[in-house]
Chain A
Amino acid sequence: MVQEVVWGVSIVLMGTLAAVFAWVAIGANVALADYGPIIASAYRLRTWLFGLAIIVLIGTNYYTLGKLPYVSRMSAPTSAKAAQPVEAVAEQWSWSIKPDAFRVGETAEFHVASKDVNHGFALYDPDMRIVAQTQAMPGYINVLRYTFNEPGVYRVLCLEYCGVAHHEMTAEIKVSTH
């Protein structure tokens, strides 16, 4: 899952950076008389790191920009099965989702709208992990496509703060095996 990968990579990189700072801090009590050579080798290292960062940047952006969630900009669905249109309308503080029952393997195409203020449409799988989301914004319809691969009760939570009952703004979607 994306979350686990991001958490793992972030923790490793954050830990590495923290370790570098700690290492420099601890070793700083002992003085090297000459600052010049330190600067020179630091700049060399910086150039290398800069190069490395650029490579990572290009690679990661190339890789991740290949799969954007923006349905309206996508070409026609690649799968033979058409996506099932779903009306998902937000209103302080409830969802109206029609239809809200699917079979495993079906692709739902949520047309997400709002009747009043900004809301967030986040689809949680039965393990309560986010699998897709978009914003619900007055005056716009955001299209979000998701294929249900696991049976169970999915939940929709509002992820944009929308007032006092924001945290209670949930809905259920049932996905059956057949």
Chain B
Amino acid sequence: MTVQAVQSRSATSARAAVLAYIVVSGLVLLLMMLLGLTMRLAQAQWISIQPDFFYVIMTMHGAGMVGIAGLSGAAVMWYFVRRHVPVSTAVFVANLVFFLIGAVLILGSGFIGGFAAAWTFLFPLPAHSGELWSVNAAASYMVGLLFVGVGFLLLHLDIARGILSVYGGLGAALGVKQAFGLAPEDEGPPAAVTASTMVLIINILGILLGAAVLVVSLVNLYVPSFTFNALAAKNMIYFFGHVFINATIYMAVIAVYEILPVFTHRKWKTNRAFYFAWVLSTVMVLTVYPHHLLMDFAMPTWALIAGQIISWLSGLPVLLVTAFGALTNVYRSGIKWTVASGLVFVGVAGWAIGVIPAIADGTIEVNSFMHNTQWVPGHFHTYLLLGMVAMFFGFMTYLVPRTTGALLPFGFWLYLVGGSVFVLCFLAAGSVSVPRRYAVHLPEWLPYDRVASIGATLAVLGALILVLNFVIGLPSAMREEAEA
């Protein structure tokens, strides 16, 4: 075989792997959305399920969504970063395999073992089930999470290897010199490389801490006399959870940098502000997590105050570089709106808009009234459902555009309108103190649940159309790839 033949064959298998990621992500996203809808319908008292089953669904929805957001983000990141650095398709596929093994263990822990300690598995809850789930079910969940973590760790290490082989150091790949004006900004790394570098720095640290607390909790399950400080466990879990879910957005945003310019015919200019924002975000995403613990009065007060201030600060790079960059790129560009470019644009908007209620809740005084109310799922569903997932759906539709014809834009609008209604109901309910994670709601809370259920139904239908469009277009996309 010639060198070209080998290269093109490896490109084909790489693309096939990305498409496999997207199929799995799309289908699991749909399934997890259906679990979410089930919870809202149950709270609205339009369907009836037992509380123990509600909390199983809640646990699966939380863990599943975080995981699948990671997987779909990884598809975006890997697709674009491999244009610049050598990465291994085998490792990429291995991550998918690890993910699927982990998913089976997690789903089994919930739907067979009845495990329902929420995705947060806050120590020592997994061992205190009230006879509802066994030690083995809890262990299955934790080992499942470990599998997912190991897969992502391998993937990040492989991307790190590729990045180091081209750029020599993580600082150079992040654009640290450009950020501080020590090197010309037009010699900086591409946006996809900068974002991937940031993601691997934060996620490797996050996964290691997550794995540590998982192992400790696992030992506690089988050796109850081995205990651990509950506050330390909470710190580690929220550090890991915060980093991982944020990383999914930072992975998906690469789709914005790469796809919007294709439609606007304007280059996405990486400049000093861009690199500076990413360097700053790398530090802040690692230090902002105490804002999850603002109601843990036992925490050192300085850490909580820092958590508030960094929450406010960390919104700035996001809003001012990515959102402003997207607006500038699109402004009077003559763009022909397609569902793909529209979704990516909505993704930036949803992300930026979701930052507002997030910053509000990151304020200690506000947190006293909003913590663990539906305000919390309200803000993160805004920047995940209408932000991160919209970016991913945009990427998906970019790879396989219009196969379902007029149905596709209809799906886009259903998703956008339904999703907006849905997240606003969460926020409104949070502002009237409706708690989150309640299987049963008081009568006065039902109107919020019912309108939210309608919004969620529309959003799920929209997502169904977007994913179907991809699945239907997949064979011809593969064929074109083979012929090209």
Contacts and interface: CB of A to CB of B under 8 A. Distances in A.
A82 interface: no
Interface in B33-89: 51-52, 55, 58
B320 A6 contact: no
B226 to A, nearest CB: 15
A164 B51 contact: yes
Interface residues of B: mostly helix, strand, loop or mixed?
helix
A117 B433 CA distance: 23
A32 B431 contact: no
Interface in A1-27: 1-4, 6-7, 9-10, 13-14, 17-18, 20-21, 24-25, 27
Interface in A104-122: 116-118, 120, 122
Contacts of B483: none
B64 to A, nearest CB: 16
Interface residues of A, number: 77
Interface string B294-336: 0111100100110011001100100110011001101111111
Interface string B108-126: 0000000011101010110
Contacts of A89: none
A155 B357 CA distance: 26
B9 interface: no
B134 interface: no
A66 B337 CA distance: 48
B297 A61 contact: no
A41 to B, nearest CB: 9
B297 A10 contact: no
B353 A42 contact: no
A130 B257 CA distance: 42
B225 interface: no
B128 A116 contact: yes
B230 interface: yes
Contacts, number: 228
A137 B305 CA distance: 20
A157 B334 contact: no
Given A42-B331, A159-B371, A143 B297 contact: yes
A32 B332 contact: yes
A47 to B, nearest CB: 9
Contacts of B55: 161, 163-164, 166
B129 interface: yes
A135 B129 contact: no
B437 A61 contact: no
Contacts of B337: 25, 28-29
Contacts of A76: none
Counting chain A CB atoms within 10 Å of each CB, which of B320, B330, B437 scores highest? B437
Contacts of A73: 301
Interface in B421-456: 427-428, 431-433, 435-440, 442, 444
B417 to A, nearest CB: 12
Contacts of A24: 327, 330-331
A65 interface: yes
B298 A122 contact: no
Contacts of A128: 432-433, 442, 444
B263 to A, nearest CB: 10
Contact of A70 (B124, B230, B264, B301): B301
Contact of B320 (A10, A49, A168): A49
Interface string B348-376: 11001100110010011110111111000
Contacts of B313: 57
B128 A117 contact: yes
A18 B431 contact: no
Interface string A43-61: 0001001100100010011
Contact of B372 (A67, A120, A142): A120
A77 interface: no
A92 B128 contact: yes
26 contacts: A1-B369, A3-B369, A4-B431, A14-B357, A17-B323, A21-B327, A21-B348, A24-B331, A32-B332, A32-B333, A46-B320, A61-B308, A64-B363, A65-B364, A93-B130, A118-B122, A128-B442, A133-B368, A135-B295, A137-B230, A138-B230, A159-B373, A161-B55, A161-B120, A167-B438, A167-B439
Interface of A: 1-4, 6-7, 9-10, 13-14, 17-18, 20-21, 24-25, 27-32, 35, 38-39, 42, 46, 49-50, 53, 57, 60-61, 64-65, 67-73, 92-93, 116-118, 120, 122, 124, 128-135, 137-144, 157, 159-168
Interchain residue pairs A-B with the least CB separation, the first 3: A31-B334, A7-B431, A159-B372
Given A69-B297, A118-B125, A167-B439, 18 more contacts: A2-B365, A3-B431, A6-B366, A10-B360, A17-B352, A25-B337, A27-B332, A29-B337, A32-B333, A38-B331, A65-B364, A69-B365, A116-B124, A133-B372, A135-B296, A138-B124, A159-B436, A164-B132
